[in-house]
């Protein structure tokens, strides 16, 4: 059986979006592109992590939050935000992530809230081979399994991987 192939490091996007207004008070937010330097040194009053396009999973969210290098009560640092994104990608369980910054109040020097929005990477959890009745030369489950390159649980699932193993 072949071991997992080493994949190149996942590039970490440096996208930060600014949402103006308090989230609870105003549902019509304006998202603008802001420079990351605009937030340096500002007080972070809350950090949350949510999943995009998948249901909430409190244990997984807590695990990912524990990897973040920035937290409530700290000063904003672009380096710590980037290190947090890298830590998330390094798990191999993240397909995409971004950070949304929401300013508290009207001051451009006031506190901010951070929200890490994460798309989870689909991974193979288990591979089962169930053979029904057939005619012709018998094929064992072990023979089929030996021809699959993605049998290992935890492998990232992609269209390319499926096509490569479809023969």
Q: Which domains does the chain have, with CATH numbers?
A: 16-120 (3.10.20.310), 122-167 (no CATH)
Instruction: Determine contact, residues 75/44, Cβ cutoff 8 Å.
Output: yes
Render the burial of 20-44: b for 16+ CB within 10 Å, e for the rest: ebeeeeeeeeeeeebebeebeebeb
Give dist(CA 49, CA 57) in Å, integer. 11
Kindly report, residue by residue over 75-86, the tens digit of the pLDDT.
999 999 999 999
Kindly report, residue by residue over 98-140, the tens digit of the pLDDT.
999 998 877 788 999 999 999 998 766 666 767 677 777 777 7
Indicate whether 15 pLDDT > 80. Answer: no
pLDDT of residue 132: 75
Long-range contacts at 66-69 (CB < 8 A, ≥ 24 apart): 67/91, 68/116
Give dist(CA 150, CA 167) in Å, integer. 13
Give dist(CA 167, CA 163) in Å, integer. 8
The rounded percent of the chain whose pLDDT value lies above 70 is: 61
Q: In what order do the strands lie in the sheet with 94-103?
A: 31-33, 16-19, 94-103, 112-120, 44-51
Indicate whether 11 pLDDT > 80. Answer: no
Kindly report, residue by residue over 24-76, the tens digit of the pLDDT.
333 334 445 567 888 999 999 999 999 998 888 999 999 999 999 999 999 99
Better-predicted residue by pLDDT, 24 or 10: 10
Q: What is the DSSP letter of 8?
A: P
Q: How long, in residues, is the chain?
A: 167
Indicate whether 18 pLDDT > 60. Answer: no
């Amino acid at each position: 059986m072949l071991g997992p192939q080493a994949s190149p490091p996942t590039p970490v996007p440096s996208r930060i979006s600014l949402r103006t207004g308090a989230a609870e008070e105003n549902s019509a937010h304006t998202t603008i592109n802001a420079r990351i330097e605009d937030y340096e040194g500002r007080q972070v009053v809350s950090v949350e992590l949510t999943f995009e396009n998948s249901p909430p999973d409190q244990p997984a969210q807590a695990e990912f939050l524990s990897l973040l290098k920035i937290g409530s009560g700290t000063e904003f640092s672009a380096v710590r935000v980037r290190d947090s994104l890298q830590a998330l990608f390094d798990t191999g369980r993240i397909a995409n992530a971004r950070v949304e910054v929401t300013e508290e109040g009207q001051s451009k020097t006031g506190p901010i809230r951070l929200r890490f929005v994460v798309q989870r990477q689909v991974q193979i959890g288990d591979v089962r081979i169930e053979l029904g009745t057939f005619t012709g030369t018998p094929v064992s489950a072990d023979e089929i399994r030996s021809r699959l390159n993605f049998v290992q649980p935890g492998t990232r699932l992609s269209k390319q991987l499926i096509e490569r193993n479809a023969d």
